[in-house]
Amino acid sequence: QQQVKQSPQSLIVQKGGIPIINCAYENTAFDYFPWYQQFPGKGPALLIAIRPDVSEKKEGRFTISFNKSAKQFSLHIMDSQPGDSATYFCAASKSTGRRALTFGSGTRLQVQP
Amino acid sequence: GAVVSQHPSRVICKSGTSVKIECRSLDFQATTMFWYRQFPKQSLMLMATSNEGSKATYEQGVEKDKFLINHASLTLSTLTVTSAHPEDSSFYICSARAGGLTDTQYFGPGTRLTVL
């Protein structure tokens, strides 16, 4: 059972554009939602994370929007650059027990010069 | 951010041999370490969770006798792929979480395993 659904699968934007990646979760027990960036052949790197008690969080050019009632959250990348071209994964976990992450399927972002 | 290392970064072995992959948290103590497997252009699939000094918890469908995990200290976990076969070829990634209330997982750079 896929508990975190991510879309789109791939995304192409022009430099300076604002790509938006969406995720939806099913398990209402999830209360920690991070986003990771992964370059080919590398491990994922944490970008930003949010908890359900806030609707938006911004760190640098990265913003998470969170809609608890809809069980959805999204990543916005402001002023995107070619160096942002990577695969982005959303994830979710519970803050109790093993705290294992459930990952979305990933979005391959290409930012064209 | 915290640093997690993996060794080796890539390994090629013959079918039937065993391969050990190390995961180290370099600047923090990791109460919990996780092992993931990633196939090309796919997401990360959790294989197992390990806590220092206790047996690992394996995800459904992961053979514990095939993938041996040892979390011997708060900074080191190892994954041993026993009697490797070509279908075990994959990208193996570990992550580490410090203790307490933090949920943040820091990932290692991954190990590319190719079984001939």
For residue A83, give the DSSP letter. G
Q: How far is B93 from chain A (nearest CA, A)?
A: 7
For each of chain A's 113 residues, which pLDDT tens digit applies?
558 999 999 999 999 999 999 999 999 999 999 999 999 999 999 999 999 999 999 999 999 999 999 999 999 999 999 999 999 999 999 988 878 899 999 999 999 99
Cβ–Cβ under 8 Å, residues B116 and B15: yes
- The answer to whether residue A30 neighbours chain B at the CB level (below 8 Å) is no
Using the structure block, give the residue that is written with the tokens 């979005």.
A107
Is A103 in the B-facing interface, judged by CB distances under 8 Å? yes
Cα distances (angstroms) measured from residue B87 to each of A27, B83, B99: 32, 11, 35
- Residue A105 contacts by C-beta under 8 Å, 6 or more apart in sequence? A2, A5, A6, A9, B42, B43
* A83 inside 8 A of chain B by CB: no
**Phi, psi values for residue B82, rounded to 5°:** -90, 145
